[in-house]
Structure 1
């Protein structure tokens, strides 16, 4: 059975935690395995932080679970809202996408004129409720 969750928020640093919490809640409801939940939340955190730093006015997160595949899509769109700080040392940037690429099975970046969409796929286990199996919602 396919599951979908969508959240759109202004691209503000203070709202990155809301995006993480939304993701964690959806994955718990869908009974995704704990390790995969942790990986997906970290992916979303990195993508949301990048959207705030480099993105546009709004950010939309879409989570799709289809069987054992979770697709994470984060899109920033609208007028340019933020400009990277030129006084920040170059080694302070660039690690986020490396983390995403390491955790995900596949990543695509689709830049557009009015924003950017990043997609990440990962294989997940779902708990079936069988006796003795840990419950990630507990």
Structure 2
């Protein structure tokens, strides 16, 4: 059983951001507990590359069969990293036959980006 806080996403179409950027206001303890697992998952170079490949997939999703050859790692190791990304709420997975297809959860990625937005990046 995971000890992580339950992941709660804000409806980004409601016009209300999940939280103000950290450059404007400190992050609440509750919000930090929700978002920290996603940042932690992205802190690993392999997972960051996997996330990049999934997020930039031309069809909006990518098969694990296309991810694995890009790394000099075993299939079980890649599966472990993908599981970490799933548990952090960064990707969704769908099994189709023997393969699993991954797609990004854009809402969470937008929340992470909004949190890291500074006044300088917002104006450029």
Scaled to the shorter chain, the TM-score interval is 0.3 to 0.5
Pick the structure with more helix per residue: 2
Instruction: Give the structure with the higher percent strand.
Output: 1
Q: Of the two structures, which has the highest relative contact order with CA contacts closer than 8 Å and spacing of 6 or more?
A: 2
TM-score (norm 1): 0.32
